[in-house]
Amino acid sequence: MAPRTVAPPPDGHARVRMTVAYDGAPFHGFATNPDVRTVQDDLHEALSKVLRAPISVTCAGRTDRGVHARGQVVSFDADAGHFDAVALTRALNRMLAPEISVRDVALAAPDFDARISCVARSYRYRVLNSAWPDPLVRDLVWHVREPLEIGTMQLAADQILGEHDFTSFSKKNKSKVNETFVRTVDRAQWCRVGNTVQLEITANAFTRQMVRSLVGMFVEVGRGRRRPDEMGEALRAMSRTAVPSPAPPQGLELTRAHYPGDV
């Protein structure tokens, strides 16, 4: 497949790269969706007011309803003659707080595109593994009461490393024809932090609900309801019926979008 090209900014404009964090709880996902509040619409409105021109952003990865982000990257074009990164950051943070925070604004190469230029994405999923729920983090974790065996969960995670067809763990987009679910996972690591069990996962790209569906399977393994080698069986089945329901969205966070040349 030939690499996709990115159109340069119009004359007099510059390409801008911006990193944002957001609490996904009050939003119906990142992408614009009629009649509901989305992160993209809030960004469009704020940017258009501050820059006094219609602004449209492209993101590194579209997050679903209730999913959070700490390292979401967006790109857009702005008037080069009046661009001030510091002033823009301050103005946006005044307008968008507390649900959205702008962490970094900088000029980018003319061929930069937050989505097309992205070579990998990293997510974290948190499971509160305790007998009692914690109301102070209820919008940030999935509470699982039964003790989880992290060793068997890691054995299952090792089986998704490399290139696989994740059809079993993907929600299909009915509007797409010949949609592919082949992805390459570079990292899938479970660790325990206090009474929280966390998955750190990095891949070149993710399908819709892929991480949440994988976590749903991992937790079943950790509970002892499934064997670790059933992860491989589920991958080969290429059927949603082979896996349990996806984990809830609030435990998921987009932590970083990776680009060539980033440190």
The first and second tokens of residue 261, run together, are 């040349």
How far apart are the C-alpha atoms of 75 and 254, rounded to whole Å?
17
| CA distances to 14, 111, 153, 214, 237 from 9, in Å | 6, 8, 46, 39, 45
Domain boundary among 107, 137, 153: 107
- What does the DSSP 8-state code read for residue 203? E
Measured CA to CA, the distance from residue 20 to residue 31 in angstroms comes to 14
Say yes or no: 88 and 132 in one domain.
no
Q: Are residues 103 and 184 in the same domain?
A: no
What is the span of the domain harbouring residue 172? 120-258
Catalytic residue (choose from 11, 42, 64, 165): 64
Q: Please indicate, yes or no, whether residues 139 and 92 belong to a single structural domain of this protein.
A: no
pLDDT of residue 3: 60
Active site residue 64: yes
What's this model's pTM, rounded to 2 decimal places? 0.95
b/e per residue, 129-151, with b = 16+ CB within 10 A? beeeeeeeeeebbbbbeeebebe
CA distance 102 to 89: 6
Q: Mean pLDDT for each consecutive 10-residue tract of the chain (263 residues)?
A: 77 97 97 96 97 96 96 97 95 98 96 97 98 96 97 98 97 79 98 97 96 98 97 96 96 98 80
The enclosing domain of 102 has a CATH number of 3.30.70.580
How many other CB atoms are found less than 10 A from the CB of residue 98?
Answer: 8
Residue 174, domain member (yes or no): yes
